[in-house]
Chains A and B, each alone.
Chain A
Amino acid sequence: MRIESIPISKLLFLIAVAQLLGRPPMSSAEQQPASQSPASKLKSLSLEELGNVEVTTFSKESEDIWNTPAAVFVLTKDDIHRSGATTIPELLRLVPGVSVARSQSGAWSIGIRGFASGFSKGLLVLIDGRSVYTPLFEGVYWDIQDVVLSDIERIEVIRGSGGTIWGANAVNGVINIITKKAADTLGGFADVSAGGTITRFVGQVRYGMGLGTGTYLRMFAKGFNRGAEDNPLGDPYDDWHQARGGFRLDMQRTQRDSLMVSSMVYGGKTGDQNTIGEFYPPSQLVVDGEQSVSGGDILVRWDHSTPAQSNFYLQGYFDRTNRATSQFTETRNAIDLDFIDHLTTLPHQEVTLGAGLRESPSHLIQTQATVNFAPNRINNYVYSLFFQDSIRIVPDRLTLTLGSKFVDDKYSGWGTQPSAEILWRPATMTSLWASVARALRTPGRLDRDLSLLGNIAASGPNGPIFLQVEGNPQFVPEVLIGWNAGMRQLFPHELYVDIAAFHNQHDDLESYGGPAQLFTFPTNPYPYEQINIQFGNGLRGVSDGLEIAPDWKLFHWMELRGSYSHVHVALHSRPGYSQESYASSVEGSSPHREALAQAIFTLPHSVQLDADYRFVSALPANDVPSYQTANASAIYRLGEHVELRASGRNLLQPRHQETLGANSNQVSIKREAFGGLNWSW
């Protein structure tokens, strides 16, 4: 092509490239004080030495963030390293709009934009492309989701319905945990945290090596032992310990093809407590029982790119989970295949096509007469297809994205989830976006197959009273139509502000079905009463809210971040239902206001100090008052290989309650401090 024949529009763009000002947002690059010149030191090195200089890398994805028409937040490896957190849920507390409430040592209620509960539904959580939600309750067992935290490259969180591009269940948001490539974790690394009342011991070790051209392997192992939180009844039942190990192999076969194989196995115990109903006295039994958890997965992913034409990936994985509770034992397998192709052959368009197939057969063994999921053997499959077209109406200024996802699952048949997004970048450091999407939360086994008998009163006029909760074979998917808008702006002096607002219309939300029916069983010798109730799609309503997240790099040694999230949920009964109390329990189970302030110091002499403060409003439905607390951590680097750190968590009071614990215990989260050390070689 001759230069003269290049169209004017391209020339205009190229001028725009020249105008790209300053550094990428959120990057840690270029934090050198202007006075000294690190470049002059680097210049004196030979080429070989230059290749051995450890650098602070900037996130290549930062450019992608500006072009995302959704409320997105990225927790970088640096954020993770500095946070002092030792679990994934504790890391998620740093993400605006994500509510994290610890209900006991190893259990959290995590929700995005309201709708948090221990069984939070409608949240897609991916670890290296592997979806970890369980169709048992359409949620995530957080106690088994873990990796070596220092091997995480980044955690991307999208708030709102990411229904189109991502897998099923992404109604309220997507949490995407991406680990480092094996090539980025060469050599040995060992890390220990110990000394806390909860964090008694966390040890992790990793070794990475090259295996010939373009092939790298990382092996890792991790184990932890955590103590119980504070139970006012004085019964510390929630000890939590676990061990896991695995590997990741990356092969860059050609410039175009790369292959990734990863695998992990784990096992452990999560302390738990349940009340089990019995027909004979004393009618209810409080059982402290550890849940035995174990499982493993293996994932293979092939990435292929043809420059300027397409890049696709094909991945398949097998994931097995076993969980034995005091009420049932479940063994679940998931076999999952996904294919996604980005086509860039058309001018000013990027077409994405994808297909996914997931078979998830499970076997449930009933160990208590009062809890069952019938049938005991079932295959919860999900098939999905999607397409999306991003049209660059004005290149690098205005992009319209249209797409739809089609999902078929065991219970509800094919459903359509269309979406439309528009992104406008009036200037390089400004982006404005808006979107509308329809998303479906497919039914889970809990909604359809549950049969639970619980004792709600040990004695009544006609004997003890039991509540029989039944799944509903007619339960249909919950529907969300989400309207979203937001903006990102980098102001002078490195002040970055991200604002997102939403209006969600919910329909067919889960509640109880028809009115409760009371039966009296005068059977001798133990007469009892039973209230029967069934799940139903009895609620609809709206939720509105916004999140504001500023990030200000004040000086090269000091950064301030904050976020404020507000959500207002207003639900009411659908025609034919009377579920106002269920509605207010959903409305009142997640905080309506949360605020976070973080101060991040990078001081001379390799000292890093981080502190954060948060306020979380009350949960009236759970009788939990509002609280504020703070975390702090300090890291000190001793030369090239050793790093020391100290962490204090929940510092503002000896204990505070965040949500209801298992068995409705008012478990409080304790203050703790612990130390840590890591060594790399």
Chain B
Amino acid sequence: MSFLCRIARRTLVYVTSMCLAFASLANQSFCQGPAPSQIDVETVYLFNFAKFVRWPAERDGEQLNICIAAQKAYSDSASRVVAGEQIGTRRLAVKLVSRPEDVSGCAILFVGLAAKDHLNDLLNAAAQHATLTVSDIPGFLEQRGMISLFVVNNRVRFSVNLENVDRSGLSLSSELLKVAVQVQGKSPGVGAR
């Protein structure tokens, strides 16, 4: 086992010296923590979307509910993101939803993979309430969804189906569309990356 100790000691000395050497060369922050999780980035997207959507005027003053039909990890993350936040006059809140009738109070509805089999019912319910629908289920935009989140090269990006957004009476700001990877249901060229 003395061999192991030798290896360990050498490795430690090596790593320490390398860290010091490189850290002095660059002024970047080394030794950073782990990358954020996909869940956190997706829920921050939901928070951001809330800023770029215009809901019909009758909703002014109401609490802005971000509804999560997904694993609890998503609603936990979303709760941390929106804690104490307000957009205009609307206070933000997170609701974990399970039944289509819960969707009535939702400004934004996120559907995760766990609720994949019930996507249809949830979207039907959302269609009656001017709700922005977001999901990371593949093929979401083809199933009447509005914003689809997906991972490219370990980065979370999104595409929009404008036709489905228009049908609901919502409007999205051009700033949002500019950043989308793809904007469907609109003349090409507008939603360039």
A interface list, Cβ under 8 A from B: 1, 3, 6, 10-11, 13-24, 28-32, 36-43, 45, 47-48, 50-58, 60, 63, 183-187, 208, 213, 255-256, 305, 307-308, 395-396, 602, 604-607, 632, 634, 636-640, 644, 646, 648, 651, 673
User: Please, which residues of chain B bring their CB within 8 A of the CB of A53?
Assistant: 35-36, 41, 155-156
User: Please, which residues of chain A bring their CB within 8 A of the CB of B99?
Assistant: 11, 14-15
Q: B87 on the interface (CB 8 Å rule)?
A: no
CB contact between A47 and one of B22, B37, B175 (< 8 Å): that residue: B175
User: Please, which residues of chain A bring their CB within 8 A of the CB of B190?
Assistant: none
**Complex Cα gap A43–B84 (Å):** 13
Contact A308 B143 (CB under 8 A): yes
**Complex Cα gap A111–B175 (Å):** 56
A390 CB to closest chain B CB, in angstroms?
A: 13
**Complex Cα gap A338–B108 (Å):** 42
Q: B59 on the interface (CB 8 Å rule)?
A: no
Chain A residue with the shortest CB-CB distance to B75: A18
Contact A604 B33 (CB under 8 A): yes
Q: B187 on the interface (CB 8 Å rule)?
A: no
User: Beyond A56-B38, A256-B139, is A606–B18 a contact (Cβ under 8 Å)?
Assistant: no
User: Beyond A63-B114, A184-B153, A648-B7, is A42–B37 a contact (Cβ under 8 Å)?
Assistant: no
Chain B residue with the shortest CB-CB distance to A208: B153
Chain B residue with the shortest CB-CB distance to A634: B11
Contact B98 A14 (CB under 8 A): yes
Q: B53 on the interface (CB 8 Å rule)?
A: no
**Complex Cα gap A676–B36 (Å):** 26
The listed residue with most B CB atoms (<10 A of its CB), out of A18, A19, A22, A42, is A18
B160 CB to closest chain A CB, in angstroms?
A: 12
Q: Which 4 pairs show the lowest CB-CB distances between chains A and B?
A: A605-B31, A18-B98, A29-B37, A186-B153
Contact A58 B7 (CB under 8 A): no
Contact A6 B11 (CB under 8 A): no
User: Please, which residues of chain A bring their CB within 8 A of the CB of B33?
Assistant: 32, 36, 38, 604
User: Beyond A39-B43, A673-B7, is A187–B37 a contact (Cβ under 8 Å)?
Assistant: no
Contact A639 B39 (CB under 8 A): no
A342 CB to closest chain B CB, in angstroms?
A: 13
**Complex Cα gap A417–B69 (Å):** 40
Chain A residue with the shortest CB-CB distance to B7: A648
CB contact between A24 and one of B71, B121, B139 (< 8 Å): that residue: B71
**Complex Cα gap A648–B175 (Å):** 52
**Complex Cα gap A36–B36 (Å):** 12
**Other contacts beyond A16-B98, A639-B28: 10, CB < 8 A:** A3-B101, A29-B38, A38-B36, A41-B36, A51-B157, A52-B155, A53-B35, A187-B153, A634-B15, A638-B30
Contact B153 A55 (CB under 8 A): no
B144 CB to closest chain A CB, in angstroms?
A: 10
**Complex Cα gap A607–B18 (Å):** 13
User: Please, which residues of chain B bring their CB within 8 A of the CB of A60?
Assistant: 113
CB contact between B72 and one of A22, A51, A55, A63 (< 8 Å): that residue: A22
User: Please, which residues of chain B bring their CB within 8 A of the CB of A16?
Assistant: 98
Q: State the interface size on chain B (CB cutoff 8 A).
A: 69
Contact B31 A42 (CB under 8 A): no
User: Please, which residues of chain A bring their CB within 8 A of the CB of B155?
Assistant: 51-55
Contact A39 B121 (CB under 8 A): no
Contact A638 B179 (CB under 8 A): no
Chain A residue with the shortest CB-CB distance to B159: A255
**Complex Cα gap A308–B142 (Å):** 11
B119-170 interface with A by 8 A CB criterion: 120-121, 124-125, 138-139, 141-143, 151-158
CB contact between A39 and one of B28, B40, B182 (< 8 Å): that residue: B40
The listed residue with most A CB atoms (<10 A of its CB), out of B100, B153, B175, is B153
Q: B54 on the interface (CB 8 Å rule)?
A: no
User: Beyond A6-B100, A634-B11, is A640–B153 a contact (Cβ under 8 Å)?
Assistant: no
User: Please, which residues of chain B bring their CB within 8 A of the CB of A21?
Assistant: 72
CB contact between A43 and one of B26, B70, B72, B81 (< 8 Å): that residue: B81
**Complex Cα gap A40–B45 (Å):** 12
Contact B114 A17 (CB under 8 A): yes
CB contact between A50 and one of B4, B28, B45 (< 8 Å): that residue: B45
**Complex Cα gap A10–B80 (Å):** 30
B185 CB to closest chain A CB, in angstroms?
A: 12
Q: B115 on the interface (CB 8 Å rule)?
A: yes
Chain B residue with the shortest CB-CB distance to A311: B139
Contacts A/B (CB < 8 Å), 16 sampled: A1-B124, A3-B100, A11-B99, A15-B98, A17-B70, A17-B118, A18-B96, A29-B73, A30-B73, A38-B37, A39-B80, A43-B44, A55-B156, A604-B33, A606-B32, A636-B19
Contact B114 A20 (CB under 8 A): yes
Q: B86 on the interface (CB 8 Å rule)?
A: no
CB contact between B37 and one of A30, A63, A256, A673 (< 8 Å): that residue: A30
User: Please, which residues of chain B bring their CB within 8 A of the CB of A636?
Assistant: 15, 18-19
Q: B77 on the interface (CB 8 Å rule)?
A: yes
**Complex Cα gap A186–B152 (Å):** 9
User: Please, which residues of chain B bring their CB within 8 A of the CB of A634?
Assistant: 11, 15
Q: B48-76 vs A: 1/0 string, CB under 8 Å?
A: 10001000000000000000011111000
User: Beyond A21-B72, A37-B80, A606-B31, is A55–B38 a contact (Cβ under 8 Å)?
Assistant: yes
Contact A307 B143 (CB under 8 A): yes
User: Please, which residues of chain B bring their CB within 8 A of the CB of A255?
Assistant: 139, 141-142
Contact A30 B7 (CB under 8 A): no
User: Beyond A14-B118, A18-B97, A43-B81, is A55–B14 a contact (Cβ under 8 Å)?
Assistant: no
Chain A residue with the shortest CB-CB distance to B42: A55
User: Beyond A24-B71, A50-B45, is A1–B121 a contact (Cβ under 8 Å)?
Assistant: yes
Contact A63 B113 (CB under 8 A): yes
Contact B81 A39 (CB under 8 A): yes
User: Beyond A39-B40, A55-B151, A606-B30, is A307–B71 a contact (Cβ under 8 Å)?
Assistant: no
User: Please, which residues of chain A bring their CB within 8 A of the CB of B93?
Assistant: none
CB contact between A184 and one of B7, B138, B151 (< 8 Å): that residue: B151
